[in-house]
Amino acid sequence: MAEPRSPAPVPPNPASLSSEGPMAVEMDPVEYTLRKRLPRKLPKRRNDVYVNMKTDFKAQLARCQKLLDGGGAGGHREICIHGLGLAINRAINIALQLQASSQGALQLAANTSTVELVDDLEPEDPDGEAGEPITRTRNNSAIHIKVFYPAPQSS
Amino acid sequence: MIAGFGTINGHVGGIQCQVAGSSGLLPAPQVTAQATAELGIHSNLCLHFQGQRYVANAAPTSGAVGGVTVSAVSSLPTAPQMPLPQAPAVPPPQPMMATATAAPKPGQGGFRKVCRTEEASPCPFPGLAPGVLHMRVKEGSKIRNLMGFAMARMQGPSGATAVEVGRGGAFGGGTGTPGSSAGLRQVVFCGSGRAVTKTITCAEIMKRKLGGLHQLTKLCYKGVREVWESQDAGGSGGGGGGEVTVHRTVPSVSILLSKDPLDPREPGYQPPETLTSLWAEREEQSPPAHTAAAKRAMLEPHAPHSSQPSAKRLCVGAGVPLRCPAD
C-alpha cells in the first residue's frame, strides 16, 4: 500500500537483460525497464482484506480469522477478501479454510471482476535522449469473496 | 483442459494437430509408459465429458469426436469405442500434452508427476437444466481454444456456421442439426488448482463480449489424486517401484453464466454489468475511503519519483467518477 509501484521491476538492470534476451536487443535498440504500477485499491474498510502472494499464508489466514472472531471489540459479521491474478487462488483458499474451520457457520459469496493494470516502460538510456516512456494497459482477473455469517431468516 | 483442448483442436487448430500427431504418435512408438498412462486417464475423462455433453446437446461435432476417440484407441485399448466418422482426418492433440508432461521436470526432488485425476464432485449448481455447456478449464488450456468454442456455442447458429465455413468442413454435418436455435442459454466454467485464474479470466472475457450475462460463482474444495514417480526407477519401464500417490485438496471455482435471470438471493450471484457498480456500491458503504484518498492526494506532491505522481493521479482520478454516483 505504501509503495508506489511493484518492488520487482522486470528486468532490474540492463546487463541481465542483454545477457538473457538478445532478441529484445535486435528488435529494439532502446531497452526499457518494465515497471508495474500498483493496482488501484478502492475500498479499504476495516473488514477488507487484500490477499497477496508475498505475505505468509498462515498470517493472512490468521488475520482474517481474527477479524471474524473479533479481539474483544466484537468481530465483524462479514469480511471481504480480495485477490488479484495469482492471488485469486490464495484468496479462495483462505475463504474456504475460514468456512471449514467455522463448521459451516460461515457462507461465501464470490464475485469476479476485471482490473485494469498499467505498466510503464521507461527507456534504459543513460543519455536520456532516445525514446519516450510508454504506458501499456492490460487486464487481470480479480475475485472478491464476501465471507459472512448468514443473517437470521426473520429479516 | 483436455476436453476443451481436444474438442477445439478437432476443428479449430488444424495446424497444431498435425504437429502434435507427428511428434507424439507417428514416428514415436517409444513414447513412454508415463505418456500412455496420462493419455489413458485423460481420454477417459474426455469421453466421459463428451458423452455427457453430446447427450445433452444432441449436436455433436464429428471432428471432435474423431480426435478424441483416435487418441483413446491408440493409447488405451479398453477405451469405449465410439463411431469414427472422420478418424484419419483429425490427428489427436493429446500426445503433445503427454510428451510435455512426461519430460522430466527439474527441481522436484527426483519425482515427476505421472498423472492427475480429479475426484468426481457433485455439481455445485443444483437444478441446472440439461443442455448446459460445461467447460472444464485445466491449467494447460489455451484461452483462445476455450473461448473460440464457448463463444461459438453461445452465439448460436450464426456463429457456429461462420466457424464451420471458416474452418472448412472439420465440423462435419454435426452443427446443422436443428437442436440449437439461438445458441445456448447457459455455460459453466469450472477449474481447480492453477486453472482457477484462467477459469475466471474466461468468464470475464465472455461477460465482456456477450454482455447481459447473469453470473453465479461457487467455490469449493476438490480432491485430486496425483501419482508421482521416482526418476531413479528408469522412466520408460512403466509401473516401476518408485510410485507415490498423493492426495490433495485444491480450491476450485465454478462459474455459471446465464442469459436468463438467476436467483439473486443465492450467495455468489452477480447481476449483469457489475463491473463498475460493484465498486460504487462498496464506496458507498465505506466513507473512510474518502478520507484515505484525500490524504493520498495531499501527499502527492511530495512523491520522490517522477512517475509516481502520475500513478497517483490516475489512481485518484479513477476513484472520483466512481464516487460520484454514490454521493
Residue type, B25: L
Q: Which of A12-16, A30-34, B140-144, B155-159 has the highest mean pLDDT?
A: B140-144
Mutate to test the interface with A, among B147, B199, B218, B219 (most CBs of A within 10 A): B219
- Supply the pLDDT for residue A122: 79
- Supply the pLDDT for residue B196: 92
Q: Name which of A8, A92, A104 is nearest A49 in CA terms.
A: A92
Indicate whether A71 belongs to any domain.
yes
Cβ-based contacts of B125 with chain A (< 8 Å): none
Of B196, B203, B219, the CB nearest to A108: B219
- pTM across the whole model: 0.57
In this predicted model, what pLDDT tens digit does every residue of B169-216 receive, in sequence order? Answer: 333 333 334 444 567 888 999 898 889 999 999 999 998 888 888 999
Cβ-based contacts of B308 with chain A (< 8 Å): 4-5
Is B51 a residue whose pLDDT tops 70?
no
Give dist(CA A116, CA A12) in Å, integer: 24
Looking at residue A79, which CATH number applies to its domain? 3.30.110.20
Is B259 a residue whose pLDDT tops 50?
yes
Q: Which of B118-122, B148-152, B262-266, B319-323 has the highest mean pLDDT?
A: B148-152
Is the model more confident about B167 or about B230?
Answer: B230
Indicate whether A114 belongs to any domain.
yes
Of B215, B283, B318, the CB nearest to A43: B283
User: Does the beta-carbon distance from B251 to A92 stay under 8 Å?
Assistant: yes
Indicate whether A112 belongs to any domain.
yes
- Supply the pLDDT for residue B29: 38
Residue A97 sits in which domain range?
46-125+141-155
Of B215, B278, B315, the CB nearest to A40: B315
Which contacts qualify for A121-125: CB closer than 8 Å, 24 or more apart? A121/A32, A121/A33, A121/A34, A121/A35, A122/A32, A122/A33, A122/A35, A122/B307, A123/A30, A123/A31, A123/A32, A124/A14, A124/A17, A124/A30, A124/A31, A124/A32, A124/A33, A125/A30, A125/A31
In this predicted model, what pLDDT tens digit does every residue of A108-137 receive, in sequence order? Answer: 999 998 888 888 887 776 665 666 778 888
Indicate whether A24 belongs to any domain.
no
Each of the 155 residues of chain A gets a pLDDT tens digit; together they read 444 444 444 444 444 444 444 444 455 566 777 777 776 656 677 788 899 899 999 999 999 988 888 755 667 888 899 999 999 999 999 999 999 988 888 889 999 988 888 888 877 766 656 667 788 888 899 999 999 888 776 44
Of B289, B303, B307, the CB nearest to A120: B307
Indicate whether A100 belongs to any domain.
yes
Residue of B nearest to A36 (CA): B311
Cβ-based contacts of B204 with chain A (< 8 Å): 112-114, 139, 141
Domain count, chain A: 1
Helix axis angle for B14-24 and B94-102, nearest 10°, is 50
Indicate whether A91 belongs to any domain.
yes
Indicate whether A5 belongs to any domain.
no
Q: Which of B67-76, B159-168, B275-284, B313-322 has the highest mean pLDDT?
A: B275-284
Q: Which of A118-127, B49-58, B106-115, B236-245 has the highest mean pLDDT?
A: A118-127
Percentage of chain B beyond pLDDT 70 is: 39
Interface confidence: ipTM more than 0.85: no
Indicate whether A29 belongs to any domain.
no
